Amino acid sequence: MKFVQYNINDEKERLGLYTLDERYVVDISSFKLKNTFQNMTDFIKKSTAVDLNIIKRDLERGFDEKHKIPVKDIEILSPISRPIHDIICVGVNYLSHLEEIIKSFSKSDFKRPDHTIYFSKRASKTIGPGEAIEGHFSLDKNIDYEVELAVVIGKKGKDIKKDEAWDYIFGVTIMNDISARSLQQEHQQWFRGKSLDTFTVLGPGIVHKSCLKWPLELNISSKVNGEVRQNSNTRLFIRGIGELIEEISTGITLEPGDVIATGTPAGVGMGFDPPKFLKSGDVVQCEIECIGFISNQII
């Protein structure tokens, strides 16, 4: 089950589900559920196991033509366009990326951290596949990309043990964590350099955890103008998703719709010699196995 937000020739966000072949979307109102839902976050919070079973059953049976909307006729939006909180981000969670960052940040004495690096990413509004990323080149010429697996929390929890983490997850999606590298370094923390408008891309949908195997071992990659830049697998996390959720939730309440970005592998623009930062007109594609891909142009 891959849940999406979309619109049809207007500004209204609608909630739907891809058909198995992903050629169509079926609006969530087409299912005989007890509740109505305003958006994806509302669905994550209020949907029940019964609702999900009904959706799964109908998805496997197939749909009448009248309920199927061709993907070519709609705009797929970010699955969570307005997160309930700032996005929780994990820094340098792949060994290969840690090594390239140490090299790139050599002038600022960046060293291997003893503990997990966490930072928040302001995203009052995220963007979806196909939407333009504003480069903000007047603020920083060194704009970078980062493909990441984003975990979406499904129920409220605190002090969650890592062996119970899967119970608190709704699903996963793709995030492109666009970064202004000069701002990131000059402020000696990452909030501003990560939080400029349009710097958070999510999509194309949220794959429900029932479609995935735990622990997650998914191929993850990015391309710029068709050139492969990043290519790895989530099994290479330094700290797994269960560990991250246990640590983050110790003393902090997580809520349905919270997004945790789990880090990016090696191959970001700043890791090359010379660096390969993004330019106006570049197209970045981020792809994760079982989820799909998101593609956006820099302007």
Q: Residue 9: what pLDDT?
A: 85
- Give 72-105 pLDDT, tens digit per residue: 999 999 999 999 999 999 998 998 887 887 777 6
Judge contact between 197 and 134, C-beta under 8 A. yes
Pairing of strands 87-91, 259-261: parallel
What the block records as the tokens of 94 is 């792949």
The confidence band for 144, taking pLDDT boundaries of 50, 70 and 90, is very high
Span 241-294, pLDDT tens digits: 999 999 999 999 999 999 999 999 999 999 999 999 999 999 999 999 999 999
CA–CA separation, 221 vs 213, rounded Å? 19
Mean pLDDT for 181-197 is 91
Q: What is the reported pLDDT for 109?
A: 60
Interval 97-133: pLDDT, tens: 878 877 776 555 666 777 899 999 999 999 999 999 9
Arithmetic mean of pLDDT over the chain: 94
pLDDT score recorded for residue 113? 74
Residue 110 has what pLDDT?
62
Phi, psi of 116 (to 5 degrees): -60, 135
Asked whether the predicted pLDDT for residue 28 surpasses 70, the reply is yes
- Within the chain, where are the H helices? 40-46, 49-61, 95-104, 181-186, 191-194, 241-249
| Domains of the chain, start order | 2-77 (no CATH), 87-297 (3.90.850.10)
Of the candidates 262, 264, 274, 277, the one whose C-alpha atom is nearest the C-alpha of residue 216 is: 262
287: number of Cβ within 10 Å: 18
163's CB contacts (< 8 A; 6+ apart) are 242
Q: For residues 20 and 223, give the distance between their C-alpha atoms in angstroms, rounded to a whole number.
A: 26
- Statement: residue 39 has pLDDT above 70: yes
Cα 228 from Cα 232, distance rounded (Å): 11
The pLDDT of residue 235 is above 90: yes
CA distance 48 to 146: 34
- As a whole number of Å, the CA-based R_g of the chain is 19
Supply 58's token pair.
Answer: 């109908």
Cβ neighbours of residue 13 under 8 Å, at least 6 residues apart? 5, 6, 7, 39, 77, 81
- The pLDDT confidence band at residue 188, using thresholds 50, 70 and 90, is confident
Q: How confident is the model at residue 223 (pLDDT cuts 50, 70, 90)?
A: very high
State the pLDDT at residue 292: 97
- pLDDT over 90, % of the chain: 85
- pLDDT interval class at 65 (50, 70, 90): confident
Please report the pLDDT score of residue 165 as a whole number: 97
Section 58-76 average pLDDT? 92
Peptide linkage before 274 cis (omega within 30 of 0): yes
Name residue 4's beta-bridge partners: 16
Check: CB of residue 230 under 8 Å from CB of residue 270: no
pLDDT for 99? 80
